[in-house]
Amino acid sequence: MDINQVCKKCGKVYMVTKVHSCSEKADVLTKKSNIYFDFWACQRPLTKKWGSGQVWGRICETLSQPDVAFGKTTGIPDGIFYVDKSNGYDWIKLPFKDNQFDFGYWDPPYDRLYKKEGIEIWRCCKRLAILHTHIWPRAWLKSAKREAMIAVTFGPMKRIRCLQVFRKIEGIT
């Protein structure tokens, strides 16, 4: 799904939201931010280990299918290339070229931020979706533009996560 749409009534480009009108108020809101915001209430994942349940499917439907997953979790379909210690990769030093992947997905453990690992993963991706309990500073990711922030819940009494999507843009520091 393309995040930018053209209003058929007024012809202006706007961000996809649940509601769009040609009112001045809606127009001002879309000019202030080109970040896609949403909320996904997902079922609690029924997994034996670490996993993000319905998030992969929602990413594919809403943002497009990632071509790589950093970490093999329950919910990542077979056939998707994954980068994990279980298949010989270390997130700190990856053997991939700069920008080798068009769109990566990363759901690291939530015990810390994994800053060094995230910077290395970002080096390999043109676009990256990070699912975490903390908001990642854009400044950590060279040439990054924040594209989307989606609150994700996994049932009652669970921590809320944020799916943050970044895209590399030339000229941004």
Chain centroid to Cα 39, Å, comes to 13
Same domain membership, residue 87 and residue 18: no
Same domain membership, residue 136 and residue 91: yes
Same domain membership, residue 102 and residue 22: no
Same domain membership, residue 104 and residue 79: yes
Same domain membership, residue 55 and residue 115: yes
Instruction: Give the per-residue pLDDT at 172.
Output: 66
H or E element in which residue 5 lies:
strand 4-6
Computed over every residue of the chain, the mean pLDDT equals 82
Would you say the C-alpha torsion 76, 83, 137, 132 has a positive or negative sign? positive
Same domain membership, residue 125 and residue 41: yes
β partners of residue 68: 104
| Statement: residue 136 has pLDDT above 80 | yes
Instruction: Give the per-residue pLDDT at 30.
Output: 45
Please give the full DSSP string across 23-57, using - where no structure is assigned: SHHHHHHHHH---EEEEEEPPPP--SSSB-TTHHH
Same domain membership, residue 10 and residue 72: no
| Statement: residue 3 has pLDDT above 70 | no
Higher pLDDT, 33 or 173: 33
Pairing status of strand 127-132 against strand 68-70 = unpaired
Higher pLDDT, 93 or 153: 93
Which letter, b or e, does each residue of 142-170 get, where b requires 16 or more Cβ atoms within 10 Å of its Cβ? Answer: eebebbbebebebeeeeeebbbbbbbbee
CATH code for the domain of 99 = 3.40.50.150
Whole-prediction pTM value?
A: 0.78
Instruction: Give the per-residue pLDDT at 21.
Output: 44
% of the chain at pLDDT higher than 70: 75
Region 65-91: what's the mean pLDDT?
A: 89
Q: Is residue 173 one of the residues assigned to a domain?
A: no
- Answer yes or no: are the C-beta atoms of 74 and 111 closer than 8 Å: no
Q: Is residue 42 one of the residues assigned to a domain?
A: yes
Same domain membership, residue 151 and residue 99: yes
Same domain membership, residue 12 and residue 57: no
Q: Is residue 134 one of the residues assigned to a domain?
A: yes
- Answer yes or no: are the C-beta atoms of 111 and 89 closer than 8 Å: no
Same domain membership, residue 96 and residue 52: yes
| Statement: residue 162 has pLDDT above 60 | yes
Same domain membership, residue 17 and residue 102: no
| Statement: residue 16 has pLDDT above 80 | no
| Statement: residue 28 has pLDDT above 80 | no
| Statement: residue 128 has pLDDT above 90 | yes
Same domain membership, residue 118 and residue 66: yes
How many domains does the chain divide into?
2
Instruction: Give the per-residue pLDDT at 42.
Output: 82
Instruction: Give the per-residue pLDDT at 25.
Output: 40
Chain centroid to Cα 19, Å, comes to 22
Q: Is residue 147 one of the residues assigned to a domain?
A: yes
Range of the domain at 45: 35-168
